[in-house]
């Protein structure tokens, strides 16, 4: 697809968040383009779970059934200490609150592939082009001039940055990106040695597979997660497992953990009597936990608008599987906010802009940022909790978790929070 010279909305970044935003905007019949500098290397599996609020969000763009079909629905997540059950997060307890009282285990690259297909069916495709390097508001043209690395230009009124944690769109808008609790900036590499590191890998195991095939298991002593997912290639029949191994501060994880590294770490952590043997490693990665939130998700430049969604607006620990979920909900919400803003502008006879109108975009920015603050805090709490593997903290944590399991209202409250339902209803659910 070739680069248009002008669009109403330009989406920069075609990860899951940019794709969902593009589909939402396209559904409203808006003139959009979605650009990305590189979609060839999207194999590294990152997120693996879609939570309830995200499924509800995906329903608004007709994408929920297909995600369920390609994923593995699960009633919950099991936490264990060694091989003993500590606590079940049970989403089925929410069956009166939602049409989808379950989570879906599905690799992020599968989610993206399905979204790309949908966008294509709607008559749009990702434009793979040199990266966006600059933009500014042009008073004469009354539009944002977006410049790519090869100096080609696209004009737009709404520039949506869904370009990930290192977002160029956010940086060029001079929007600070830091941990709201500590004030540490995302770019501050010195803090990395102080954080928790995770080794992640998609692997198959020699039989018997000792983990459950129908729900994720979080072993806490020491930290090891296994989320079973369907293989991406239909010919491959064996269950794949996304394993996550957490290490404490100051212990470096290699950038691409090898099979030997993963097997040795598994052997150290194996909660079962039998040995877990990795058969094949498909993808590996490392995640060094940092938390950061954009100071604002919306900035007006001239009469144009710069908006942020997804990792461009927030990054945090993967524990709890909230990152992609939060981003997809942002994407639906920003799509609605932009549509509402455009419609309100059109109904103004003189076509002028004003602060009343801007409240629509400001509303998006404030609501979603407030939710971002809550989710960052939740991810931090969960990360702390799962890495208390030594001394009295471990003992207290395990007792509290065991006891909590006897209180249905407490169990429901945890499911409510983890599922994203605790983040409040979406704009679409209000109208």
Ligand X SMILES: Cc1cc2nc3c(=O)[nH]c(=O)nc-3n(C[C@H](O)[C@H](O)[C@H](O)COP(=O)(O)OP(=O)(O)OC[C@H]3O[C@@H](n4cnc5c(N)ncnc54)[C@H](O)[C@@H]3O)c2cc1C
CB closer to ligand X out of 259 and 286: 286
Run of H or E residues at 168: helix 168-172
Shortest Å, Cβ 108 to ligand X: 5
CB closer to ligand X out of 60 and 162: 162
CB closer to ligand X out of 60 and 109: 109
Shortest Å, Cβ 429 to ligand X: 21
Instruction: Report the Cα 213 to chain-centroid distance in Å.
Output: 23
For the CA atoms of 332, 337, 339, 340, what is the dihedral angle to 10 degrees? Answer: 140
Q: In 274-408, at which residue ranges do the beta strands (DSSP E only) sit? A: 278-288, 292-294, 298-301, 304-308, 314-315
Shortest Å, Cβ 210 to ligand X: 21
CB closer to ligand X out of 239 and 303: 239
Check if the beta carbon of residue 30 is closer than 8 Å to that of residue 339: yes
Q: Residue 365: which of 393, 397, 401, 341 has the closest Cα?
A: 341
Shortest Å, Cβ 262 to ligand X: 14
Shortest Å, Cβ 58 to ligand X: 14
Contacts of 45 (CB under 8 A, 6+ apart): 107, 108, 109, 200, 202, 229, 242, 283, 285
CB closer to ligand X out of 117 and 359: 117
Check if the beta carbon of residue 298 is closer than 8 Å to that of residue 306: yes
What are the DSSP calls for 34-53, one per residue? Answer: EEES--TT--S----EE-HH
* Binding footprint of ligand X on the chain (CB under 6 A): 12-18, 35-39, 46-48, 108, 131-132, 162-164, 168, 200, 285, 287, 310-312, 318, 321-325, 327
Check if the beta carbon of residue 83 is closer than 8 Å to that of residue 75: no
CB closer to ligand X out of 64 and 353: 64
- Enumerate the H helices of 71-167 as residue ranges: 108-121
Run of H or E residues at 418: helix 408-418
Indicate the SS3 state at residue 17. Answer: helix
Q: Residue 110: which of 77, 74, 75, 66 has the closest Cα?
A: 66
Shortest Å, Cβ 311 to ligand X: 4
Shortest Å, Cβ 10 to ligand X: 10
CB closer to ligand X out of 37 and 402: 37
CB closer to ligand X out of 132 and 342: 132
Shortest Å, Cβ 198 to ligand X: 8
From residue 122, give the alpha-carbon distance in Å to each of 12, 35, 129, 333, 366. 18, 16, 21, 20, 30
Shortest Å, Cβ 355 to ligand X: 29
Shortest Å, Cβ 410 to ligand X: 24
CB closer to ligand X out of 297 and 353: 297
Check if the beta carbon of residue 289 is closer than 8 Å to that of residue 196: yes
Run of H or E residues at 260: helix 259-269
CA gap 35, 112 in Å, rounded = 15
CB closer to ligand X out of 78 and 398: 78
CB closer to ligand X out of 286 and 300: 286
CA gap 196, 202 in Å, rounded = 20
CA angle centred on 101, ends 100 and 103, rounded to 5°? 85
Shortest Å, Cβ 154 to ligand X: 11
Indicate the SS3 state at residue 9. Answer: strand
């Amino acid at each position: 697809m070739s680069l248009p010279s002008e669009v109403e909305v330009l989406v920069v970044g075609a990860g899951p968040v940019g794709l969902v935003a593009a589909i939402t905007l396209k559904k409203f019949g808006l003139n959009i383009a979605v650009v990305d500098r590189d979609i060839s290397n999207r194999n590294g599996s990152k997120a693996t779970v879609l939570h309830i609020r995200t499924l509800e969000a995906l329903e608004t763009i007709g994408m929920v059934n297909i995600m369920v079909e390609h994923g593995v629905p699960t009633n919950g997540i099991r936490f264990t200490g060694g091989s003993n059950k500590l606590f079940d997060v049970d989403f089925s307890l929410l069956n009166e609150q939602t049409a989808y009282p379950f989570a879906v285990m599905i690799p992020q690259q599968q989610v993206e592939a399905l979204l790309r297909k949908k966008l294509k069916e709607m008559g749009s495709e990702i434009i793979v082009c040199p990266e966006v390097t600059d933009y500014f508001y042009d008073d004469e043209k009354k539009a944002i001039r977006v410049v790519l690395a090869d100096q080609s230009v696209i004009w737009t009124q709404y520039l949506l940055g869904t370009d990930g944690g290192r977002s160029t769109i956010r940086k060029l808008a001079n929007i600070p990106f830091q941990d709201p609790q500590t004030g540490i900036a995302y770019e501050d590499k010195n803090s990395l040695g102080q954080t928790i590191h995770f080794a992640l890998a998609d692997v198959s195991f020699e039989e018997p597979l000792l983990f459950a095939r129908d729900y994720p298991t979080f072993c806490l002593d020491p930290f090891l997660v296994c989320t079973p997912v369907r293989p991406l290639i239909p010919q491959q029949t064996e269950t794949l497992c996304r394993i996550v191994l957490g290490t404490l501060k100051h212990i470096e994880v290699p950038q691409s953990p090898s099979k030997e590294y993963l097997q040795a770490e598994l052997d150290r952590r194996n909660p079962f009597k039998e040995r877990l043997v990795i058969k094949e490693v498909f993808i590996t990665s490392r995640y060094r936990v940092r938390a950061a939130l954009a100071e604002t998700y919306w900035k007006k430049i001239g009469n144009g608008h710069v908006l942020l969604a997804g990792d461009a607006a927030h990054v945090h620990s993967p524990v709890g599987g909230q990152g992609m979920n939060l981003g997809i909900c942002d994407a639906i919400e920003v799509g609605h906010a932009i549509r509402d803003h455009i419609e309100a502008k059109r109904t103004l006879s003189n076509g002028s802009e004003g602060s009343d109108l801007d409240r629509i975009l400001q509303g998006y920015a404030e609501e979603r940022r407030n939710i971002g603050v809550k989710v960052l805090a939740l991810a931090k709490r969960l990360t702390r909790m799962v890495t208390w593997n030594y001394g009295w903290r471990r003992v207290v944590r395990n007792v509290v978790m065991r006891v909590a399991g006897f209180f249905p209202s407490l169990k429901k409250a945890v499911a409510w929070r983890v599922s994203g339902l605790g983040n409040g209803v979406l704009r679409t659910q209000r109208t």
